[in-house]
């Protein structure tokens, strides 16, 4: 772990950490996870929450997906999904502010990272697969040194092999700094299943080439997808109308994740004046 104590005007390189973040990484025992992220582009974080919490999370996701019956990224066969879940259930919101996961988010997306998307999915036996892609698919290549976003997938069911519909990852592909081309999507060379037991959280770099395998096993794979973006990038979902209620319920950590402590988007809340405290915080956080 490369720990750097920088001056305010200096920028933290990708995969380096501040002394404050290093303390949290050690506290939560995430040393191997950050090595995985740098080397492979993905990791599985365990001991994140209790078994009862995951049971409640699974129930919440199922309820939302069954109510909405959304299309799982266009895959209408044996799969349903639901989006904009931050306000739908307190268990889902609590998952997004889990301190162990937010430590990994800061490692990969820097200080001031924001919630980009909170969605759930249910894949049944017979669910077809997604094609290989990068989550930061709207960025032009070559990608910048600092990744744009990171996904945290809460596995509410054992996902231990291809038959269970596991996430498909191409180790090291985050270092290619580009999108896969059609031939590479078709070949999926070097891809392996991301083995994730129930009660774990799979996380990957926004630049990692990944997809999933068809599900041929009986039952369901229920998952929460929580995506966070570096503060310089635009979140996919807008919780503006619900911000006050979310902040009142979940406190300062949610205020950070909704971008309310950053400069942009907030000037009209200060009578058009420049809030220098927020301005300086945004400048500092963007470099960490």
The mean pLDDT value for 195-218 works out to 95
Q: What angle do helix axes 19-27 and 31-39 make, rounded to 10 degrees?
A: 110
Instruction: Identify the CA nearest to 82 among candidates 56, 61, 58.
Output: 61
pLDDT for position 264:
65
The 8-class DSSP code of residue 146 comes to: S
Residue with tokens 């490692």: 107
- What's the CA gap between 241 and 191, in Å, rounded? 41
204 domain-assigned = yes
64 domain-assigned = yes
Domain range for 99: 38-237
243 domain-assigned = no
285 domain-assigned = no
- What's the CA gap between 16 and 38, in Å, rounded? 10
pLDDT for position 201:
98
Instruction: Identify the CA nearest to 281 among candidates 2, 266, 99, 108.
Output: 266
What pLDDT, in 10s, does the model give residues 110-119? 999 999 999 9
Considering only 94-103, 184-193, 202-211, 270-279, which range has the smallest mean pLDDT?
A: 270-279
Whether the CB-CB separation of 67 and 82 falls below 8 Å is answered with yes
Grouping H, G, I as helix, E, B as strand and the rest as coil, residue 222 is: strand
288 domain-assigned = no
Beta bridge partners of 202: 44, 153
Residue 187 has phi, psi (to 5 degrees) of -75, -35
> Which helix (H) or strand (E) is 75 found in, with range?
strand 75-82
- What's the CA gap between 234 and 61, in Å, rounded? 25
Tally the domains of the chain.
1
Q: Against a cut of 0.85, is the pTM above it?
A: yes
What pLDDT, in 10s, does the model give residues 134-173? 999 888 899 999 999 999 999 999 999 999 999 999 999 9
The mean pLDDT value for 85-92 works out to 95
270 domain-assigned = no
146 domain-assigned = yes
Mean pLDDT of the chain: 90
CATH number at residue 193: 2.60.120.620
The mean pLDDT value for 18-33 works out to 97
258 domain-assigned = no
């Amino acid at each position: 772990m490369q720990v750097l104590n920088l001056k305010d005007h200096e920028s933290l390189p990708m995969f380096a950490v501040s002394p404050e973040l290093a303390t949290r990484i050690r506290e939560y025992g995430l040393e191997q996870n950050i090595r995985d992220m740098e080397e492979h582009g993905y990791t599985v974080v365990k001991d994140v929450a209790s078994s009862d919490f995951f049971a409640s999370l699974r129930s919440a996701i199922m309820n939302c997906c069954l109510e909405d019956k959304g299309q799982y990224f266009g895959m209408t066969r044996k799969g349903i999904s639901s989006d904009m879940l931050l306000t739908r259930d307190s268990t889902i919101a609590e998952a997004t502010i889990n301190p162990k996961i937010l430590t990994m988010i800061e490692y990969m997306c820097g200080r001031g990272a924001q919630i980009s998307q909170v969605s759930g999915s249910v894949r049944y036996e017979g669910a077809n697969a997604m094609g290989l892609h990068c989550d930061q698919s709207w960025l032009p290549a070559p990608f910048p040194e600092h990744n744009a976003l990171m996904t945290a997938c809460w596995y509410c069911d054992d996902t231990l092999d291809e038959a269970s519909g596991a996430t498909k990852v191409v180790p090291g592909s985050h270092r290619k700094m580009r999108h896969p081309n059609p031939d590479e999507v078709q070949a999926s060379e070097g891809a392996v299943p991301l083995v994730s037991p129930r009660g774990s959280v799979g996380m990957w770099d926004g630049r990692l080439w990944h997809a999933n395998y068809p599900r041929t096993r009986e039952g369901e794979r229920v998952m929460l997808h929580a995506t966070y973006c570096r503060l310089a990038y635009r979140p996919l979902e807008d919780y503006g109308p619900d911000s006050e209620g979310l902040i009142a319920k979940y406190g300062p950590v949610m205020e950070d994740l909704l971008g309310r402590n950053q400069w942009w988007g907030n000037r009209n809340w200060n009578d058009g004046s420049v809030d220098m405290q927020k301005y300086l915080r945004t400048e500092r956080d963007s470099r960490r």
